[in-house]
Amino acid sequence: MKIWNSIFLTSRFFLVFGLITGLFAVGFFVEILFPITQVLLILAMIMVLVDIWLLFHSKQPLEAKRRLPKILSLGAENKIFLDVYNPSAQAVTLEIIDELPVQMQERDFSIKLELEGKKAETIMYELRPLKRGEYEFGALNIYMASMLGLVQRRVQFTDPMLVPVYPSVAQMKQLELKAFNQVTVQKGIRKIRRLGHSYEFEQIKNYVRGDDYRSINWKASSHRGSLMVNSYQDERAQQVYCLLDKSRVMRMPFDGLSLMDYAINTCLVISNIVLQKEDRAGLISFSDIIGTTIKAEKKSNQLNKILAALYREKERNLEANYELLYHASRKLIKGRSLLLLFTNFESSYALERVLPILRKINALHLLVVVFFDNTEIRRFTEEDAEQTEDIYLQTIAQGYLTEKAAMAQRLKKFGIQAIFTQPEELAVNTINKYLELKSRGLI
């Protein structure tokens, strides 16, 4: 029964026996074809038996193993490796079907390859998970066929594997390299020129061409007989909090990811940059209630604490309570801090309703409101209008986009920093804003 359950018929099998069946039908009218078809049927059955023997004469026909990273990154392309070895001397054709996690919703995933005898091969494919949580990989099924190709033998490796999907660690590392690369200017991260001297004194060094002449230390220069300049470093130990709105306005999906997941990835990215800059990173999530609260620190395990907290966050179906956020900012955040508020406003009415509270928070801290451009509507406005109705719809859509852009100007009018960004550019724009505010000495 074990062998019987491992036998699968191929399309070539049905093609051959379908042709023989057709010849039998014609043989009723053309008598000479009937005995020829009988011989062909016997030969085909012998070939099937030979094919089965070729596939099943070896007890261990294949060796295979799946290799997964310890964690998968949300919204990023994660590499999965399959190691396959053919210990027999004959070449085989393989169809590999990996049982992917149910969250991926893949129903037709398969990989085909030809593997020579005594050869090993490593296959790589990529997965882009769109939800946080635990992903379970099932059995690894390999269907092998000989050169005859009439029958397939299923070799199954029942090795279930569980791997968590965390906020994008891959994006965090990539943007960290861009933010701290001092040699080349890579796409996305802007180098901000420092203004003024609101920095901590670091050392006195020899003057080189390009140094600010206002930094010359004349007293040290007279002692050394050469020009010396004061060197400054960015002020450190500043508190930076990510305020994560997880109410229903953040459930809107773009390119498979919800706005909240884009914000979660960015919270991890900016927290890593903040800690690398010797500042303190913290986290507060809120909706109708206050969720996670992590005090701003720069301990060695701070990033892991933030990562674990972001992994557990879930959207809620109710409206965000900004009054509760204001009281939490007064009670939980000691001292003036940079607050990065990740939220979304779909109408000017929604902004005006919470604007008085945002102004109160901004009076206590340096508040940066981050909200999103609707890229789907923007793409719609850029399409060619084919009918009169399309013109009216695009005009309405353009008015909606103009209203959203005006919200950023409305916030700036009251001294509130704003980032109006497309979801896919959220992380880069947030890092640039942080570096800009730091270079201007505002934090």
Beta bridge partners, 133, equal: 165
Q: What is the DSSP string of 19-54?
A: HHHHHHHHHTTSTTHHHHHHHHHHHHHHHHHHHHHH
pLDDT reported for residue 200:
54
* 3-state SS, residue 70: coil
pLDDT reported for residue 60:
75
| Distance from C-alpha of 266 to C-alpha of 243, rounded to nearest angstrom | 11
pLDDT reported for residue 178:
73
pLDDT reported for residue 197:
47
Tell me if 316 sits within 8 A of 248, measured CB to CB.
yes
CA dist 67 → 70, 165, 232 (Å): 10, 16, 48
Q: What is the DSSP string of 115-153?
A: E-TTEEEEEEEEE---S-EEEEE--EEEEEE-SS-SEEE
H or E element at residue 98: strand 92-98
pLDDT greater than 60 at residue 233: no
Quick one: residue 7, left, alpha or beta (phi over 0 = left, psi -120 to 50 = alpha)? beta
Mean pLDDT of 55-78: 90
Tell me if 288 sits within 8 A of 316, measured CB to CB.
yes
Q: Please indicate whether residue 190 or residue 231 has the higher confidence score (pLDDT).
A: 231
**Phi, psi dihedrals of residue 166, rounded to the nearest 5°:** -105, 165
| Distance from C-alpha of 71 to C-alpha of 113, rounded to nearest angstrom | 28
CATH code given to domain 169-192+235-439: 3.40.50.410
pTM of the predicted model as reported, rounded to 2 decimal places:
0.80
In 184-225, beta strands by DSSP E: 200-206
Return the domain boundaries, the chain.
Answer: 1-166, 169-192+235-439, 200-233
pLDDT greater than 50 at residue 182: no
* Residue type, position 354, single letter: V
pLDDT reported for residue 406:
93
CB atoms within 10 A of CB 378: 15
| Burial letters 281-320, b for 16+ CB under 10 A, else e | bbbbbbbeebbbbbbbebeeebbebbbebbbebebbeeeb
Token pair listed for 412: 């700036």
CATH fold of 1-166, please? Immunoglobulin-like (2.60.40)
Angle at 288 between CA 319 and CA 344, to 5 degrees: 45
CA dist 3 → 37, 96, 311 (Å): 30, 19, 44
Q: Please indicate whether residue 181 or residue 166 has the higher confidence score (pLDDT).
A: 166
376-419 pLDDT per residue, tens: 898 888 888 888 888 889 899 999 999 999 999 999 999 999 99
Q: Please indicate whether residue 400 or residue 212 has the higher confidence score (pLDDT).
A: 400
Mean pLDDT of 251-264: 92
Mean pLDDT of 253-262: 92
pLDDT reported for residue 184:
40
| Banded model confidence at residue 195, pLDDT cuts 50, 70, 90 | very low
C-alpha dihedral over 351, 246, 372, 402, to 10 degrees?
-30
State the pairing for strand pair 78-86/119-127.
antiparallel
79-110 pLDDT per residue, tens: 999 999 999 888 999 999 999 999 998 888 99
Token pair listed for 417: 């920093």
Tell me if 394 sits within 8 A of 385, measured CB to CB.
yes
* Residue type, position 292, single letter: T
| Distance from C-alpha of 241 to C-alpha of 193, rounded to nearest angstrom | 24
pLDDT greater than 70 at residue 431: yes
